[in-house]
Amino acid sequence: MADKPNTHQALLGELTRLRRRVKELEKAEAERAQVEQALRRQAAVLQEQAELLDLAHVTIMVRDLDNHILFWNRGAEEIYGWPRQEALGQITHSLLETKFPKPLAEIEAQLLRDGRWEGELVHSRKDGTTIVVSSRWALSFDQQGNPLAVLEINNDITSRKVAEDALRRTLGELDQRVQERTAEMTAANLALTEEIAERGRVEQALRVREQELQAKTQELNEVNSALQVLLKQQERFRIDMEDQILSNVRTLILPYLGALLTMHLSPDQRAQAEIAESNLRNLVSQFTRRLSAANLGLTPEALQIANLIRDGRTTKEIAELLRLSPRGVIFHRQNLRRKLDLKSNKVNLRSQLLALT
């Protein structure tokens, strides 16, 4: 009979432990459900982010710390030519045959130190052609702060680099020609200086030798005539030089700008390129010279707006091209009408500007 209380007490203790265990299991189940819900939300966010990255026109890839590709967006497929299933798992620098601006070890050291790196790289496409990209790397970390993966975003700037190289060569040729012309003008100025010094010596000799006044006066007249001829030749040389520069602008710069405008540019890039082309054409235009020669006191901005009005641009188009407000463009239009003495609103401003061409 003495064992019954002990058995009853043991059963009560076991029941208490079971109830406590049930509560612990219920709590663990609730926590597990919360974790599963959080994971589902996180998975949905990651899926949405992946879909957004796929819509980007630039190349976006994620690689592990051993440079194996973990994510390869649609932009990377279009630019490099490898479909996603072929790129995943590949070593990015081997796949793209990357050429770095400095040793890769230095770049990776900077990435680990700063968490990011930016620079220009040369990559190879699947078809063997090469492109130049503006590359940005960002390091991601786990919850403990340890490096986890690298996000790499590349933007194809091959066309821009080709245009820059062409413009650099053109400017170098122009600079060389200017230096040559400057040297020639310096030599002409030295010769002229020597001629003037000789004239001074002749005049001093005339004062000392009055008996040769008549002969020396004639000699001075001849020297003056020679100087006039030299000055006229120099003026012709200046005009020829201006014509040569204008011709170079037409043949060496404007065609490259025209080619650049046929390429795939962002709206802002296209607007800036169109402004550059318009300004260069205005430099070689007789219209700008005549409008400036009219002594209207126009600012460079007003001259640019006058050229765009003459080209048939609307107020809205001019405002977008020059990044002005439409009210600012209207103010310049009214100022042009006042300076051209167009009192009547019925007189077309563009027609008057075309008459100056």
Q: Are strands 147-156 and 116-124 parallel, antiparallel or unpaired?
A: unpaired
Contact 60, 79 (CB under 8 A): no
Q: What pLDDT score was predicted for residue 188? A: 86
Contact 123, 130 (CB under 8 A): yes
Cα-based distances in Å from 136 to 91, 119, 165, 275, 306: 18, 7, 23, 30, 42
**pTM, entire model:** 0.39
81-120 tens-digit pLDDT: 999 999 999 999 999 999 999 999 999 999 999 999 999 9
Q: What pLDDT score was predicted for residue 345? A: 67
- The number of angstroms, rounded, from the C-alpha of 117 to the middle of its chain's C-alpha atoms is 20
Instruction: Name the average pLDDT for the chain.
Output: 80
Q: Where are the domains positioned within the chain?
A: 1-55, 56-156, 158-269, 285-357
Lowest mean pLDDT among 6-10, 35-39, 53-57, 183-187: 35-39
Report DSSP letters for 167-197, one per residue: HHHHHHHHHHHHHHHHHHHHHHHHHHHHHHH
Q: Which of 99, 65, 101, 71 is nearest to 84 (CA)?
A: 71
Contact 257, 277 (CB under 8 A): yes
287-344 tens-digit pLDDT: 555 555 455 677 778 878 888 888 788 888 888 888 889 898 888 888 888 888 776 6
Residue tagged 């030749």 (tokens): 233
Question: Residue 37 pLDDT > 70, yes or no?
Answer: no
Structure letter (DSSP) for residue 324 = -
Contact 88, 148 (CB under 8 A): no
Structure letter (DSSP) for residue 57 = S
Q: What pLDDT score was predicted for residue 69? A: 94
> 135 forms bridges with which residues in the sheet?
119, 154
What is the topology classification, in CATH, of domain 285-357?
Arc Repressor Mutant, subunit A (1.10.10)
Structure letter (DSSP) for residue 145 = S
Give the DSSP H/E element, type plus range, for residue 151: strand 147-156
pLDDT band at 32 (very low <50, low <70, confident <90, very high): low
139-163 tens-digit pLDDT: 988 888 888 899 999 999 998 888 8
CA distance 21 to 136: 53
Percentage above 70 pLDDT, the chain: 78
Backbone phi, psi, residue 312, to 5°: 90, 15
User: Which amino acid, one-letter code, is at 313?
Assistant: R
Lowest mean pLDDT among 188-197, 203-212, 288-297: 288-297
Question: Residue 265 pLDDT > 70, yes or no?
Answer: yes
pLDDT band at 123 (very low <50, low <70, confident <90, very high): very high
Q: Report, in this order, helix, strand and coil percent for the chain, each rounded to 5.
A: 70, 10, 20
First to last CA, the chain: 127
Question: Residue 38 pLDDT > 50, yes or no?
Answer: no
Q: What pLDDT score was predicted for residue 130? A: 94
- Is 56-156 a CATH 3.40.462.20 domain? no
159-171 tens-digit pLDDT: 888 888 888 888 8
Q: What pLDDT score was predicted for residue 6? A: 65
